[in-house]
Every structure is written in structure tokens, then in C-alpha cells.
Structure 1
Amino acid sequence: MKLATTSMKSKMLLTASLLTLTLIVSACGNKPAESTGGTATPAASTAASAPKQWSKAPDMIIDTNKTYQAEVTTSKGTFTIDLYTKEAPKTVNNFVFLSKEGFYNNVTFHRIIKTFMIQTGDPQGTGRGGPGYKFADELKTTHTYEPGTVAMANSGANTNGSQFFICSGTDCASLNKKPDYTIFGKVTADGMATIAKIAETPVERDPNGVDASASKPKEKVTINTISIKEK
């Protein structure tokens, strides 16, 4: 799953990249389940070391009358995300569920574009992985794409899974022209220094990737853990 680089040209690249990835995943027979809701149950896996997978999106485990924060520890520092429970309850619920399951532990930031965004949430580290299911967009919001904004990456309408991005630069504002990515939180001011460190990671073009831009990190940058605080 990919995000765009900058401006309209970048967004066109995003759409093409995501369509390509969808076709690749479908061809491999690992297309996420279409159904959502119900109890999240692990899907069958043949590899003991394979990342956790579920056949359905999780039931609502959060209380929408409460506020939630995610404390993210990475190999380059820590940051906190204020989660938008009221405006994106399904997305926040999904993020909280996956975080509590340890799904994001040791997952890499697989795509970095300094002036645009840093992307993570794929246990495969290729931009093609997910939790085994997908769920609907929540695009009605008062928030915009700006430095610190946290939003879902996707492969088209209503294909959210586990991948998300954090806006790291002003080029992210180009997405406001056609907001296709569910915004579900924002990094607090004191955590933006860590976002900047991650965004500074040297990158190169991946000859095996679908992204024509140089966005593959030359060094491994990981999420160590995500802990959820409820108020």
C-alpha cells in the first residue's frame, strides 16, 4: 500500500501504485477478506513466525466517550498521537486493537519522503502487507493533512487495514485537494522532533518496488512498541 509523493502528479502515482499492489496481492491469493465487523478471529497461518492475521475487522472495543492516546516508541525516539475517537471511531478502534495485539511491534517505516510523509504499519515491510481484512473509510472530518497528521494508507476506497502514514512536511497539504485517506489522529508537538528524525533517514529507489520515487530507507527504522492510554 502506497502513498503519493507531492502535488497532483504524486497523487496520480499513488493511485496507480495502489492499483498495482491490489492486483499483485490478488494474484498471490492473499487478498484481504471483504467482510468487516464481528469478532476478530485469527486466520489460519502455515508459518509460526508469520505476522498475526484476522478474517474480520475487530468489534468495537473502545469507548467513544473517552479520549485515547498512543505512545509510540521507535528506534529513533518516541512520540505521542492524540487519537480522534469521535470523528474516526472505526479507524481508532482498529488502531487500538492492533496496537494492543502487538501487531505493530518491530514493524518498519518502509516508505519515507522527507517533505511529505513517513509510512508504516506493514509487517512485511514491502507496502503490500496488512492484517488480513479491510474496513471502510471515515472521511468526514474537520481536520486537514498537515505536519503531524496521522492517516490511513489504502489501495482505494474502503480498503483500510493496518498501514498508516504521518505527515512530515508541507507537501502533505496536497492531499487536501481530494482527501481520500482517513485522518484518525495527530502527533503532539513534543513528538514532532522524532518525526523529523525519521523523515531525515536517507532513502533510495527500490528497483523492485512500484514507487518511482526514492523513498526506500537505506537503514532500518522500526516501531518498537505502541502503548494505548485511555482517559
Structure 2
Amino acid sequence: MLETSMGKICLELYWDHAPKTCRNFSELARRGYYNGTMFHRIIADFMIQGGDPTGTGRGGASIYGDRFADEISEKLKHTGAGILSMANAGPNTNGSQFFITLAPTQHLDGKHTIFGRVAAGMKVQKSFRRIHISIPISSSGVKGTLGCVLCIQTILHVRHD
């Protein structure tokens, strides 16, 4: 469950297709790593990106160390809004950052590990389409009046099939 200043987004994780990635995301969330972080990159009709504790798009590490390998599945595609994928700087550079698509983004297929989808809260996710800027943060909190704070309170149900 992602709890944001705009509402809650429930995620379904694809443990069968990306077990290391799901474990990384779940464990970081369990540790409170994402609490108080932001969607630092928001591009209308493309995606929202979060998971960087620095808020710059350059930070974050995985539970496996600095980076870990991709888990690309040919069965999973960026076919529409609500796809949960790892953000990266190239092959095998996954850390803590992730994104949720706001539209089909097939040009990302084979380049980013898909590890889940929005199961509930699409209305909240779609509300991010109205935002066209990234919002800077400082050590004292959000600058400006528009807050998009991402606070993962807990993962309510983790299924390992």
C-alpha cells in the first residue's frame, strides 16, 4: 500500500516473475525506507517516479548493496497505466527507485524490470497526470505548496507463491 498526500494506491507484486525485485521493494518498505520520500519525477501521460530518499533522482540503494541485476520477463510488458517497474540508469543498475506508468510505454520493455501493478487506487494514480513538475525537497520538508509525499506505511499482504 502506498499512502500519498493524494490518496492510497494498492500494489500487487509479481513475486513469480521478479522475486529479487519484489523482496527488495517489500523489505525497503518494511524498514520504513520510503517513508517521507516523494515522487520526485512526474511526467504527465508517461509515469511517476519515486523511491529516492534524496529526492534528486540520483540516490537510493537496494537491500543487496548499491545495485542489483535486472529481472526482465518477456511475459510482462508496459502495456498501459498502472505498471510498476524499477527505475534504473542502464542494465543491472536497480536500487530503490521505481516508477508507475500513466500510459502505455512499450519503449521501456526489456529495459526495466516490471515487478507489479496498481491493483486499486487508479483514480489516485491518474490524479498525478495533472502535475507537470517535479517537486524539490529539503531536509526540512517539501518546498512549495503542492505536496506529493510518498509514505509507504506498510505492505498489508505479501504473497509468496
Number of the residue aligned with 2:115 = 184
CA displacement at 1:157 relative to structure 2: 0.9
Query: In the alignment, is the contact (CA less than 8 A) between 1:141 and 1:183 conserved in 2?
Result: no
The one-letter code of the counterpart of 1:156 is G
Note the 1:120-135 alignment, pairs <5 A.
120-131=50-61, 133-135=66-68
Is 1:115 paired with 2:42? no
| Superposition TM-score, scaled by structure 2 size | 0.84
Classify 1:221/1:230 alpha carbon distance in 2 versus 1 (closer, same or farther; 3 Å): same
Number of the residue aligned with 1:220 = 147
Return the structure number with greater relative CO, CA threshold 8 A, min gap 6.
2
Note the 1:31-180 alignment, pairs <5 A.
71-131=1-61, 133-145=66-78, 146-170=80-104, 172-176=105-109, 179-180=110-111
Q: Report the 3-state secondary structure (helix = DSSP H, G, I; strand = E; otherwise coil) of the residue aligned with 1:112.
A: strand
The one-letter code of the counterpart of 2:67 is K
Q: In 2, Cα distance between the equivalents of 1:103 and 1:161?
A: 12
Number of the residue aligned with 2:131 = 201
Task: Return 5+ residue gaps in structure 2 as ranges.
Answer: 137-143
Deviations along 1:25-67, whole A, 9 cap, x unmatched? xxxxxxxxxxxxxxxxxxxxxxxxxxxxxxxxxxxxxxxxxxx
Is 1:230 paired with 2:161? no
Over aligned residues, Cα RMSD in angstroms?
A: 2.1
Q: In 2, Cα distance between the equivalents of 1:133 and 1:142?
A: 27
Higher strand share: 2
Query: In the alignment, is the contact (CA less than 8 A) between 2:38 and 2:52 conserved in 1?
Result: yes
Q: Report the 3-state secondary structure (helix = DSSP H, G, I; strand = E; otherwise coil) of the residue aligned with 2:89.
A: coil
Classify 1:167/1:204 alpha carbon distance in 2 versus 1 (closer, same or farther; 3 Å): closer
Q: Report the 3-state secondary structure (helix = DSSP H, G, I; strand = E; otherwise coil) of the residue aligned with 1:128.
A: coil
Q: In 2, Cα distance between the equivalents of 1:122 and 1:135?
A: 16
CA displacement at 1:204 relative to structure 2: 6.7
Query: In the alignment, is the contact (CA less than 8 A) between 2:41 and 2:134 conserved in 1?
Result: no
CA displacement at 1:202 relative to structure 2: 3.6
Q: What number of residue pairs does the alignment pair up?
A: 147
CA displacement at 1:203 relative to structure 2: 1.8
Classify 1:77/1:205 alpha carbon distance in 2 versus 1 (closer, same or farther; 3 Å): closer
CA displacement at 1:225 relative to structure 2: 2.1
Q: In 1, Cα distance between the equivalents of 2:145 and 2:74?
A: 35
Q: Which has the larger radius of gyration?
A: 1
